[in-house]
A and B are shown apart, each in its own frame.
Chain A
């Protein structure tokens, strides 16, 4: 089926070459980082994880979010999603690949990455995160590939594929739960030390992932002959609506506990993010933008009139995606490190090389996604004979 990826029109090739160019430039910067060290980033001994780990965290969510189209089809026999489960699975593949690349980009000694296997440490959450992410990647590759191959040959996918698909449904929340456990089990970081972290991660994942999927469906309808379907998009929109409301609710639960109890080590991080601390307030405008975007998207999504208007829906999905990205991709990680364990406020901002390497990984993800979607949609066009 791979041959379908090299039979494309002019626009397809422009996109592919554009993504390859970004990847190439970023690769050059990564080589620089490899030779100089992580000192070319904005990280420090106080904020020791930055943009890379933040993107990783956000994208684990997008990967897990793909399950929101797989689950209704396989568990509830919701037939309408049968048309688009493959898009969810392929989105998960691209997202997990980005996650793994961000981890590698963040390592000080990436050549030693396999030490995690050579000296396995079951007490470390990172060890488990490596396992759950790689298994999830493998599951989605096997299930996605077999489903689309069966569709091309006009046969039903084999029974064991359904078993694997159901297994992957159980596995999806696991990847984001384990990722949350990386943070929420650490004793000295009040911002992360909360049992609501994993549920919050899942809620924002099940909002951001399907929101991206809606946008991708709308793009696919526009540029290909395959229509993912009006009903499918509306069903996804309802899932997004519930998830984003739950996400904001969980956040408000956290706000209540932290500010009613008034424990400084928990309050100060949130104060820093939303109001600034000791005169440092780099993230304040970002965090309020994030909140405004999430609340606006809720208003637009809850109202059936606006939700059913696909232009408005697209707008709501864009701001929701940006809002959750700021919340998790920027605030969640540096927020946990500021103030530091000695209560000094040392701020963090990504550097230009760091941003370019980040863009390179995103470009790689979209490159993989483009190729996988191209294959899937070519098969669908072939089968429907249009």
Chain B
């Protein structure tokens, strides 16, 4: 009796171990090849496409704080971003800060007055080599082929490793249920639950139906998005004719947001 119970437990233990480690072993066995796709996803023919999405922000076109409000508001509204009362719980996708905070290692004492006092827009940089994607233990944050870094809110375990990894402070965490703090819910975009990380998604849901990102649309031409790999694109045109800077280029993350100062 005792013997059979013991051997049963042994067998059960080994089976459980086998089941538990199967996905892990699969990951190593797959050797980088993706699993075969069973269903073909139909793409919207109107969808905006790019080999590598990028954004150019022409900061010369902004004059005061008020110029940024409609841009930030457009994003907040479309993406159901809550307005928390407790500062610790705040969620930002796109916001403004001073030059000395946005371009930490490019600031100096005698920078001209316009730059010194003008707010600068900050958002996720959709990096070429995103530190957040590397850190995430579940692939809940991932980089798409077109360069957009996205979040899977349903897979995120809320470990916040990505927030520690991001050198731009672009990520926010839902420290509590955000839904009671959303003024007007946009039914077209999901609300989030407590305990997951979120950030700017380059309006992937709008690009998919042929619309440009909400911030660009609300910017009166001050924000332009386009394909970095297409020499004819508007972003390439702007980059060719203007001197642009990026945030913390020395880290080598390759941010896709360019600023004309």
A residues sitting closer than 8 Å to B (CB atoms) are 36-39, 41-46, 48-49, 103, 106-110, 112-113, 115-127, 130, 182-183, 186-189, 265, 336-337, 340-344
Contacts and interface: CB of A to CB of B under 8 A. Distances in A.
Contacts of A187: 131, 165, 167, 251-253
B137 A126 contact: yes
Nearest to B165: A186
Given A39-B176, A45-B171, A186-B131, A117 B23 contact: yes
Nearest to B156: A109
B164 A108 contact: no
B160 A49 contact: yes
A341 B158 contact: no
Given A39-B175, A188-B251, A343 B101 contact: yes
A109 B131 CA distance: 22
A33 to B, nearest CB: 10
Contacts of A341: 166-169
A124 B135 contact: yes
A124 B161 contact: yes
A51 B92 CA distance: 24
A46 B163 CA distance: 9
Contacts of A109: 156-158, 193, 195-196
Interface in B121-176: 122, 131, 134-140, 155-161, 163-169, 171-176
Interface stretch (B37-45, B73-81, B83-91, B238-246): B83-91
B157 A188 contact: no
Contacts of A37: 174-177, 194-195
A342 B140 CA distance: 25
A342 B97 contact: yes
Contacts of B177: 37
A139 to B, nearest CB: 15
Nearest to A128: B137
Given A44-B87, A109-B195, 9 more contacts: A44-B90, A107-B159, A107-B195, A115-B138, A115-B157, A121-B139, A124-B134, A187-B131, A187-B165
Contacts of A116: 137-138, 157
B111 interface: no
Contact of B196 (A108, A188, A189): A108
Contacts of A115: 137-138, 140, 155, 157
A210 to B, nearest CB: 30
Nearest to A127: B137
Per DSSP, chain A at the interface is loop
Contacts of A118: 23, 138
B16 interface: no
B104 interface: yes
Contact of B157 (A44, A107, A186, A336): A107
17 contacts: A37-B176, A37-B194, A37-B195, A39-B89, A44-B89, A45-B172, A106-B160, A107-B158, A112-B157, A117-B23, A124-B135, A124-B136, A125-B135, A186-B167, A188-B165, A188-B167, A189-B167
Among B28, B163, B164, find the residue whose CB has the most chain A CB atoms closer than 10 A: B164
B138 A188 contact: no
Contacts of B168: 188, 341-342
A93 B140 CA distance: 31
Contacts of B135: 124-126, 186
Contact of B102 (A127, A336, A342): A342
Nearest to A124: B137
Contacts of B131: 186-188
Nearest to B135: A124
A41 B177 CA distance: 14
Contact of A43 (B24, B169, B175): B175
Given A48-B173, A115-B140, A341-B168, A123 B134 contact: yes
B231 interface: no
A187 B196 CA distance: 22
A119 B27 CA distance: 8
A121 B157 contact: no
Contacts of B140: 115, 119
Contact of A120 (B23, B165, B251): B23
A188 B20 contact: no
Contacts of A36: 176, 194
B139 to A, nearest CB: 5
Contacts of B117: none
A45 B90 contact: yes
A120 B139 CA distance: 8
Interface in B193-241: 193-197
Contacts of B159: 103, 106-108, 126
B196 to A, nearest CB: 6
A360 to B, nearest CB: 20
Given A37-B174, A37-B177, A108 B160 contact: yes
Contacts of A186: 131, 135, 164-165, 167
Contacts of B161: 124, 126, 182
Given A118-B23, A124-B134, A113 B157 contact: yes
A122 B90 contact: no
Nearest to B131: A187
B20 A121 contact: no
A337 B135 CA distance: 16
